[in-house]
Amino acid sequence: MAKNYRLNVNGALQEVAIDETGDGRFHAELGDRSYELELESVDDSTLFRLYVDGRRIPIAIRRDGKSAEVFIGPDRHYTEIERSAGSLSASGPAIAGEVRMPAPMTGQVTEVLVAAGDDVEEGDPLLVMVAMKMNNEIRSPASGRVTEVSVAVGDAVDQGDIMLVIDTDASE
């Protein structure tokens, strides 16, 4: 039976169903796509070989509880993993509990649009940051109450720095 997960990857929510088929092999459903996966440990701690539909992809994973940094080649991705009960929702992802919002890229904060105590809806703009000479609007991945804002206008942030926290159980 497949296990369902909600992933916050670089600030974007995704749902995935993973079914272990044995010997480090898995079947994954992500959106409308299916993948056959094989995960092979290289050093019994952080380095792995991931085979996606037979294609080898070297990855490194640094876990910290429900959070992980995933390095795929030169690219670094920050994830938060939540096990979800039941089947995946047809209407899109939903998150419960505390959502820590990491910076999806290295840049500078140019606008902070919310404060601690503000209620936000999924998709609401939270802040704006400049990276590679482009303004990037960071939107809320879930509805809830902002409980912490860790950045201010002018702050430089590195990819993965926690910028704010939303409690999805505290709204209204």
Q: What is the pTM of this model?
A: 0.50
Q: How many CB atoms lie within 10 A of CB 7?
A: 19
- Where is the domain boundary, 29, 51, 84? 84
Amino acid at residue number 58: P
- Listed residue (64, 85, 97, 100) closest to 15, CA to CA: 85
Q: Are residues 66 and 131 in the same domain?
A: no
Its domain, for residue 116, covers: 98-167
Which residues of the chain are under the pLDDT cut of 70? 1, 10-11, 43-46, 64-66, 73, 81-97, 171-172
Sole residue written with tokens 């088929």: 21
Q: Are residues 78 and 106 in the same domain?
A: no
Q: Are residues 50 and 76 in the same domain?
A: yes
3-state SS assignment for residue 123:
coil
* Count: domains in the chain: 2
Q: Are residues 76 and 113 in the same domain?
A: no
Give the chain's mean pLDDT.
Answer: 80
Within-domain flag for 51: yes
